[in-house]
């Protein structure tokens, strides 16, 4: 980058006071090209149409089954407590053959361990029930996670 010095009529040299913008434009064009090349590589995702979520109140049907899990890990079928590890699987297998197949609504206490909920879901899957949902309380203005 140089400075243009010209001679005046009286013999004194004058400096030219304009800015040479050519290097600036070159750098900006290189940055633009790099940006245009790298952005499509970064934002590659699978094209899917995401569903629109709406809160739907639970429709309670007589054939729906409620499986509740308390904080201690005890499992309840509707309102009766189940004893033993195979009791839940046996009840699910008998309910799975009923036509139309009932839905299972899982209600778990806030303090329930994930292991207990996972065990119930695993037994539901093994028993052959297709429709499973989780019952929660609506968020009443509480913001953030606890």
pLDDT, residue 115, reads 92
Asked, for residue 122, whether it belongs to a domain, the answer is yes
Q: Report pLDDT digits (tens) over 61-84.
A: 667 888 888 888 889 988 888 887
Asked, for residue 46, whether it belongs to a domain, the answer is no
Asked, for residue 9, whether it belongs to a domain, the answer is no
| Token digits of residue 9 | 């009529």
Asked, for residue 97, whether it belongs to a domain, the answer is yes
Q: Report pLDDT digits (tens) over 13-30.
A: 777 778 888 889 999 999
pTM of the predicted model, to two decimals?
0.55
Q: Tell me which residue range forms the domain holding 113.
A: 65-134
What CATH number does the domain containing 84 carry? 3.30.420.270
C-alpha span between 20 and 14 (Å, rounded): 17
In total, how many domains does the chain have? 1
CA distances from 57 to 41, 60, 135, 136 (A): 42, 9, 10, 11
Eight-class DSSP state of 144: S
Asked, for residue 72, whether it belongs to a domain, the answer is yes
What's the CA angle centered on 28, arms 23 and 31, to 5 degrees?
130
Asked, for residue 13, whether it belongs to a domain, the answer is no
C-alpha span between 95 and 82 (Å, rounded): 15
């Amino acid at each position: 980058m140089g400075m243009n010095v010209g001679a005046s009529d009286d013999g004194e040299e004058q400096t030219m006071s304009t800015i040479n913008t050519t290097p600036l434009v070159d750098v900006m064009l290189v940055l633009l090209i790099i940006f245009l090349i790298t952005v499509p590589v970064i934002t590659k995702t699978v094209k899917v149409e995401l569903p629109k979520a709406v809160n739907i109140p639970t429709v309670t049907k007589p054939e729906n089954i409620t499986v509740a899990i308390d904080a201690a890990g005890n499992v309840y079928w509707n309102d009766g407590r189940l004893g033993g590890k195979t009791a839940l699987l046996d009840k699910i297998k008998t309910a799975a053959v009923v036509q139309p197949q009932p839905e299972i609504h899982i209600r778990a206490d806030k303090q329930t361990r994930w292991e207990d909920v996972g065990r119930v879901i695993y037994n539901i899957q093994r028993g052959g029930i297709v429709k499973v949902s989780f019952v929660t309380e609506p968020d009443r203005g509480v913001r953030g996670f606890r």
